[in-house]
Structure 1
Amino acid sequence: MTIEMLTDFFMWCTVINGGLLIFWILTWMIASDQVYLIQTRFFPMSRERFDIVFYCFLGAYKIFFIFFSATPLVTLLILGS
């Protein structure tokens, strides 16, 4: 596997994961009440607890996005140039 192939792979991983992250944030900003109502049908919890769980998952996703998508892409771009 060449550096160019790995760079392309991590570029698409970064684009897809970044898009999912933006979609998740926009969904929360626009339709947080609907998301809460849908999720509490399956997992009953208070609104405060739901907000905490949401932000924890969002934070974890951001960390994984940075360390497993963006950082390898930047590293490969530096190595490739």
Structure 2
Amino acid sequence: MEAEEIRKVLGWCSAINLGVLMLWFLVFVFARDFVFRIHTRWFKIAEERFDEIHYTMMGYYKLIVFVFNVIPYLALRIVA
């Protein structure tokens, strides 16, 4: 695979993953109570813990997207 093809794939992966992160954030902001009700049917969890879990996991997801998609994409943009 050529560097240009890898760069394009990483660009699309970055866009898709950042879109997923944005969707997750918007659902959490605008439909938080609905999502909380669904989760409390399956798990016994406090609201504070629910918020903490989502906030933490969004941070981890963003970190992984940047480390494995965005930074390699930018590096290939600079080099190639």
Q: TM-score range by the shorter chain?
A: over 0.9
| Aligned structure 1 segments of 4 or more residues deviating by more than 6 angstroms | none
Q: How many residues align?
A: 80
**How far, CA to CA, are the matches of 1:41 and 1:57 in structure 2?**
20
- Give me the CA root mean square deviation: 0.7
TM-score relative to the length of structure 1: 0.95
- Corresponding residue for residue 57 of structure 1: 57
1:21 aligned partner = 21
Percent of counterpart pairs with the same letter?
36
Gaps of at least 5 residues in structure 1 are none
Secondary structure of the residue that 2:44 maps to in structure 1? coil
TM-score, length-scaled by structure 2: 0.96
Matched, 1:66 2:66: yes
- Give the drift of 1:40: 1.2
- The DSSP-based 3-state class of the residue aligned with 1:20 is helix
Q: Which runs of 5 or more structure 2 residues have no equivalent in the other structure?
A: none
Aligned amino acid, residue 26 of structure 1: L
